[in-house]
Amino acid sequence: MKAFIVEKYGKDGLRAADVPEPTVGDGDVLVRVSATSINPLDKMVRNGEFKRLLKYKLPFVLGHDVAGIVTQVGSAVRDLAVGDEVYARPRDQRIGGFAEFIAIDQDDVSPKPESLTLREAAAVPLVALAAWQILVDRAHVKPGQKVLIHAGAGGLGSTAIQLAKHLGATVATTANTASEKLVRSLGADIVVDYTKEDFSQVLSGYDLVLDSLGGANLEKSLTVLKPGGLAISVVGPPDAAFAKQLGAPSFLGLVMNVLSRKIRKQAKALGVRYQFFFMQANGTQLRELAALYDNGQLRPVIDRTFPFDQMLEAMAHVEQGRTAAGKVVISMAPDDE
């Protein structure tokens, strides 16, 4: 089958290849991929940023989002059948959405939202799961709380704004002038145009900040939190809890704590908290999220769609910051819905 594999770590490490179709285990479903999408995590994995924690054996197929049709089920699979239209974020060590077929553990798979096409569904799994696990599982966002979501027009930001609003929060976001209308349509109550003003000078008293930019942006985010507030970053620095989540050796947890010591110290001095976040595959949560898409509470935001053979061009489009809003989707066929 055709796939895009990481042959070596680095910017030029991804290439097209013919690889064997995956083996289907007893608890797996084999999915013919109709569409996939590109996430910042794809670039990070390709570049080897997590190679000490996510020990993929080179070469491996890249891709963290899948929407497609089940073509085979393992003997232990009960709730999915051949012909089902599904979507998934395969678990770590079993990624591989940049291919014609992928075998996925049944626990990571859900029927796709009925209201979405397969292309649209491909834009959803990773960012929707991340938004859910941050806002619901980690932060326990409640009605009336104040949430700041950075980069509101991005794939994660555009999803998190909608979910936070659904949960009853007052939502602020950072965006550029061209994106203000979009993020307001998604539910943002307050939009800070980062090309014109500094969010840390105009916002205060927030319960939660969702950071996807890191660096100075993360440090300034700590200052807009109320006492006891929480800043969660998806770009780091990682902490010991991340190493524990991945089942890494204890010494790597110590390394992660060293890497995050500065930001944790800054947070403590301000009376607030910092956590690193790395999402986990979860088919049950995808079923809950599908209902929100079908009820109109959530909608995917798609920048543009590339054909499968233009995967490298699509990756470059994302890396060079040319994405105007939302996700870049990869379709296996021009007319594949």
| Domains of the chain, CATH where assigned | 2-123+301-331 (3.90.180.10), 127-276 (3.40.50.720)
Per-residue pLDDT tens digits for 216-273: 999 999 999 999 999 999 998 998 888 888 888 888 888 888 989 999 999 999 999 9
Amino acid at 260: S
Per-residue pLDDT tens digits for 89-112: 999 999 999 999 999 999 999 999
The residues of the chain scoring below 50 in pLDDT are 336-337
- Report yes or no: 260 and 277 within 8 Å, Cβ to Cβ: no
> Which residues 6+ apart lie within 8 Å of 229 measured at CB?
206, 207, 208, 209, 272, 273
Residue 237, strand partner residues: none
- Report yes or no: 61 and 45 within 8 Å, Cβ to Cβ: no
What one-character DSSP code corresponds to residue 2?
E
pTM assigned to the model: 0.96
Here the tokens at position 140 are 């326990």
Here the tokens at position 240 are 């010991």
Closest-CA residue to 211 (of 160, 164, 281): 160
Distance CA 64, CA 96 (A): 7
Query: Looking at residue 337, what is its pLDDT?
Result: 42
- For tokens 């690889």, name the residue: 19
Closest-CA residue to 187 (of 197, 175, 195): 175
- Report yes or no: 45 and 53 within 8 Å, Cβ to Cβ: no
Query: Looking at residue 334, what is its pLDDT?
Result: 61
